[in-house]
Chain A
Amino acid sequence: DIQMTQSPSSVSASVGDRVTITCRASQDISRWLAWYQQKPGKAPQLLIYAASSLQSGVPSRFSGSGSGTEFTLTITSLQPEDFATYYCQQANNFPPFAFGGGTKVEIK
């Protein structure tokens, strides 16, 4: 099975900061990767798919990059509504569709 490892597990940042989250796959998944945002008490929402494609309705301050085993989610100019937990998910080889452990973006 493919394992997904996210880092850091949490990050403290201020409004306006640039935040980068990393996701590593235990084997090559090409660009079969998605990123999700989850706010407390809410279901996750798809932000990025195919490593770098922005889901409809998602602000352009979110971007994704990477291929193979290393991927990044970048939030430029962090907004108050962006404080949440972010998960990566591989879609290359299943079952299972593995998620990363999550990265909590907190207010500094």
Chain B
Amino acid sequence: EVHLVESGGVVVQPGGSLRLSCAASGFTFDDYAMHWVRQVPGKGLEWVSLIAWDGGRTYYADSVKGRFTVSRDNNKNTLYLQMNSLRDDDTALYYCVKDKNAGNYYFDYWGQGTLVTVSS
């Protein structure tokens, strides 16, 4: 059974940094691209970032480009999101999401999310 468990969400001041982690199990981690998707409580979904199976390609939403960095350690079956220069509007629940199949970018498994609150 696929499990994705996010961690690292805390309250951080504007301008601060944070690293989120996602521990994956129940599937061959290095066979799949992975994503981060966020959701402001009570609002809609926003895709944040994609990383290819081998970490060789990464993509970002314009809202986080230049501030966030996605990475993965396939030996540890773990996905990361380094978040720098955090702003109030980065406050959200951050989901770790697995790609359904190579190259089609549908999101078939989601973690339960980790809450990031940016506030002074």
Contacts and interface: CB of A to CB of B under 8 A. Distances in A.
B27 interface: no
Contact of A94 (B44, B50, B111): B50
Given A43-B112, A46-B100, A46-B106, A95 B59 contact: yes
A55 B108 contact: yes
A49 B47 contact: no
A81 B103 CA distance: 32
Interface in A60-108: 87, 89, 91, 94-102
A45 B110 contact: yes
A39 B105 CA distance: 22
B106 A44 contact: no
B1 interface: no
Contacts, number: 64
A45 B108 CA distance: 7
Interface in B81-120: 95, 100, 104-108, 110-113
B50 A49 contact: no
B106 A96 contact: no
Contacts of B59: 94-95
B112 A97 contact: no
Contacts of B111: 43
Of the listed residues B105, B106, B107, the one surrounded by the most CB atoms of chain A closer than 10 A to its CB is B106
26 contacts: A36-B45, A38-B45, A43-B95, A43-B111, A43-B112, A44-B107, A44-B110, A45-B110, A46-B100, A46-B106, A46-B107, A46-B108, A49-B100, A49-B106, A49-B108, A55-B108, A87-B44, A89-B45, A89-B47, A91-B106, A95-B47, A95-B59, A97-B35, A97-B47, A97-B50, A99-B45
Interface of A: 1, 32, 34, 36, 38, 42-46, 49-50, 55, 87, 89, 91, 94-102
Interface of B: 35, 44-47, 50, 59-62, 95, 100, 104-108, 110-113
